Structure 1
Amino acid sequence: MPDAVDPLLLGQRVVAVLETGLRTATYKLATLMALIDHCIEHLPDDPAAARTVPIPDLAHRVLELYWRQVRPFEGHELRQSTGERARIPRAVTAFRSAAGPARSLAAAMNSAPPAYETAIDEITLCLAQQPLFRLQRVPGAQTGDRFLYDDSFLHSGISRSALRARGDAIDLLPGVAAGLARLAGLLKPALEIMWVDDVRRMNKFLHADVPDIAGHLFGRDRTALAAVRGPFKEAFGPHCFYCRARLPVDNPIDHVLPWSLVGIDGLANLVLACARCNTDKRHALPAVDIVDRVLGRDRDALEQIADQIRWPTEYQRVQAAARGIYRGQPPGVATWAGYKSSVRWDLAFAPVWLEGTTS
């Protein structure tokens, strides 16, 4: 195998496989999104390095993606597959039912741990038997062209015990982890567009006049985030994290690392914001000193809030994602530094948390 991967060529091959293959479910798209997020959060120091990826980790990320999507849309249950079994949505729906009225995935995991483990186990097996086994295959090919990971042990009938015997993991080929992480900003929006198109195709009632289906599939759950507002104001004061303006009662909660790039709802990635800064920042990558301030907040206070509202901080995950995102940025890229303000990213002035290796 080559020692490095051209990210552009890698992206072209990923898109080509998706566009030429028959997508009978949204599972391939979900798996790729999960794989990209894993690579961002576990970016190797050596761009040419291989990477072992636990399939249960991908299963959790896939569950996160479908958590909102399995809710009814205008009274309809959205089909995510042309088949009858709909294994992943059914596993997520069963978990939601077992968790009761929990609004967030984090709260559901706390309220129904056995149901969560059951869902992860079912999604793990489904990923191995379906999207991971077929993801690298082009129409008519008897075997996969392994340009992402070794799939030689996977097949549509692989058992849970056989999967465990292989360590419940896939091995990304050299350079793929770094390549996917660098492509996140381009690939993830493209995958979302494909996903929306597929859902429209699988649900005949979604004609052109139906409102924003993309927002239902990929929008942020502002109702759930409202639970953070009060405790954050008590702990950090009723001020915008970015400009320090005093906040009204119903101010926005902002994802510091953009939701469109890494969908992390942990408290460590959330801040109070004013409407002006929240609108101006939108999907922009923040200046690294903003992330430095976020990671420098009182962690004991965050943990107390986490215990109070049963919401994880995900501090290590946010730090790992930030490290992967910034180390994958080209020098000189513009980052959001505040209202109508930007600064150029320069790795030479990186803070301490950008150093070291992710596990």
Structure 2
Amino acid sequence: MRDNDGDSLLLGQRVVAILETGLRTATYKLATLMALIDHCIENMPASPDDVLDIPIPALAHRVLEIYWLQVRPFEGQILSQMTGGPKGVIPNAARRLRAAAHVANSRAPLDVAISRVPHAYETALDEVSVCLAGEPLRRLQRFGGAAGSDPFLYDDAFLQKPSSSAKRVRGYSIELKPGVAHGLARLAGLLKPALEIMWVDDVRRMNKFLYAEVPDIAGHLFGRERAALEKVREPFKDAFGPHCFYCSTHLPTGNPIDHVLPWSLVGIDGLANLVLACARCNGDKSNALPAVPIIDQLLDRDRGMLEQIASEIGWPTQRDRVVAAAVGIYRMQPAGVPTWSGYKQTTRLDIAFPPSWE
């Protein structure tokens, strides 16, 4: 039997070492790693030792989704994501897509653009795919000062002579080595916060107007603005009643909207991952992993009602992603891990996996 905990720890150490041993001139490596982690969570192999094939366009979609929110102006300024100015293939692709979809500076999800302007989305996806194949994916496994890469995540030999053809890149995939998908997913709770800290530091370094007192640059970069979800509140109250999803207390005006699967672990903004909450439960739960019965309750909600709300307010449900992420998250949890089951309550995880989520 393999020591999967030891393997995951070694993997995490190597990932951090890659990022800390060289000067990053763009945030692309950080975005690629975040996208890899999210893909692994939502596409968890059945066995910890299995490989995982990831089409580059699928990875490009996730990278585009990250920058989709980040390219909005921050305090009237366009943030640079690379040394030397605001230019950059991936942020510019996201900006052009936002303009084509007429979403202004709102936090409307990427799915809105996919629905409104599918051809513009495909163009942006091709641009990001070619960029990933040409730069971050073939440099991601290179330690600072090393002449070549150390392919501990995936074999990158075919990327060393990248093609500039979007048609060819659409057919490219990377295959994560045995154990890597499970290891990245299992380390998500540690690696993603570390990547965010590095990202904020890089953006501050790349944008001289961001002094230490500038408020909540992390919130802007990683989508934690609570006001952005306000349009969900009233339709949810009309559909499900003005009660806290967790404790059923009656809700006042302006109550929080909570991500059941924590935003810090999987950035899913779809209606299927959102609930009405009271301030007490919302603050107590924070980024904790919810108990399995809470996920059962979440996924038992009326699908037709969620789709109706989605149609009325132009917001995706993303139910399939929520199910896939939940399966991946709980599959990688060790037995007995504490989960949040209500205000000041925890339950040890003890389930016969997989649950009947669908």
Q: Same fold (TM over 0.5)?
A: yes
Aligned to 1:116: 121
Deviation at 1:233, TM superposition (A): 1.5
Residue 289 (str. 1) matches residue 290 (str. 2): no
Corresponding residue SS for 1:348: coil
Corresponding residue SS for 1:231: helix
Change (3 A) 1:115 1:158: same
Corresponding residue SS for 2:311: helix
1:81-160 superposed matches below 5 A: 81-83=82-84, 85-101=87-103, 103=106, 104-105=108-109, 106-155=111-160, 157-160=162-165
1:206-217 superposed matches below 5 A: 206-217=210-221
The counterpart of 2:183, out of the listed 166, 170, 179, is: 179
1:168-198 CA-to-partner distances (Å, cap 9, x unmatched) read 3111111110110101011001000110111
The counterpart of 2:202, out of the listed 195, 198, 211, is: 198
Q: Which runs of 5+ in 2 are unaligned?
A: none
Corresponding residue SS for 1:352: coil
Aligned to 2:40: 39
Provide the C-alpha distance between the structure 1 equivalents of 2:191 and 2:56, rounded to a whole number of angstroms.
21
Deviation at 1:116, TM superposition (A): 1.5
Paired letter, 1:296: D
Provide the C-alpha distance between the structure 1 equivalents of 2:161 and 2:257, rounded to a whole number of angstroms.
43
Provide the C-alpha distance between the structure 2 equivalents of 1:276 and 1:215, rounded to a whole number of angstroms.
21
Provide the C-alpha distance between the structure 1 equivalents of 2:280 and 2:161, rounded to a whole number of angstroms.
51
Judge conservation of contact 1:252–1:274 (CA < 8 Å) in 2. yes
Provide the C-alpha distance between the structure 2 equivalents of 1:91 and 1:259, rounded to a whole number of angstroms.
24
Provide the C-alpha distance between the structure 2 equivalents of 1:150 and 1:246, rounded to a whole number of angstroms.
54
Aligned Cα RMSD in Å?
A: 2.0
Moved more, 302-311 or 323-332: 302-311
Judge conservation of contact 2:130–2:166 (CA < 8 Å) in 1. no
Paired letter, 2:233: R
- 4+ residue runs of structure 1 moved beyond 4 angstroms? 2-5
Change (3 A) 1:164 1:88: closer
Q: Which runs of 5+ in 1 are unaligned?
A: 355-359
Deviation at 1:333, TM superposition (A): 1.1
1:1-359 superposed matches below 5 A: 6-83=7-84, 85-101=87-103, 103=106, 104-105=108-109, 106-155=111-160, 157-161=162-166, 163-164=168-169, 167-348=171-352, 351-353=355-357
Deviation at 1:222, TM superposition (A): 2.7
Provide the C-alpha distance between the structure 1 equivalents of 2:200 and 2:166, rounded to a whole number of angstroms.
35
Change (3 A) 1:56 1:221: farther
Over the matched positions of the two proteins, sequence identity in percent amounts to 67
Moved more, 263-272 or 297-306: 297-306
Corresponding residue SS for 2:341: strand
Provide the C-alpha distance between the structure 1 equivalents of 2:112 and 2:225, rounded to a whole number of angstroms.
14
Deviation at 1:83, TM superposition (A): 4.5
1:5-28 CA-to-partner distances (Å, cap 9, x unmatched) read 800000000000110022110000
Provide the C-alpha distance between the structure 1 equivalents of 2:284 and 2:341, rounded to a whole number of angstroms.
10
Deviation at 1:157, TM superposition (A): 4.4
Provide the C-alpha distance between the structure 1 equivalents of 2:167 and 2:223, rounded to a whole number of angstroms.
37
Provide the C-alpha distance between the structure 2 equivalents of 1:70 and 1:192, rounded to a whole number of angstroms.
16
Change (3 A) 1:66 1:333: same
Judge conservation of contact 1:3–1:174 (CA < 8 Å) in 2. no
Deviation at 1:108, TM superposition (A): 2.7
Aligned to 1:357: none
Provide the aligned length of Structure 1 versus Structure 2: 352
Judge conservation of contact 1:70–1:89 (CA < 8 Å) in 2. yes
Provide the C-alpha distance between the structure 1 equivalents of 2:115 and 2:323, rounded to a whole number of angstroms.
23
Corresponding residue SS for 1:216: helix
Provide the C-alpha distance between the structure 1 equivalents of 2:343 and 2:216, rounded to a whole number of angstroms.
28
Change (3 A) 1:22 1:294: same
Provide the C-alpha distance between the structure 1 equivalents of 2:272 and 2:74, rounded to a whole number of angstroms.
30
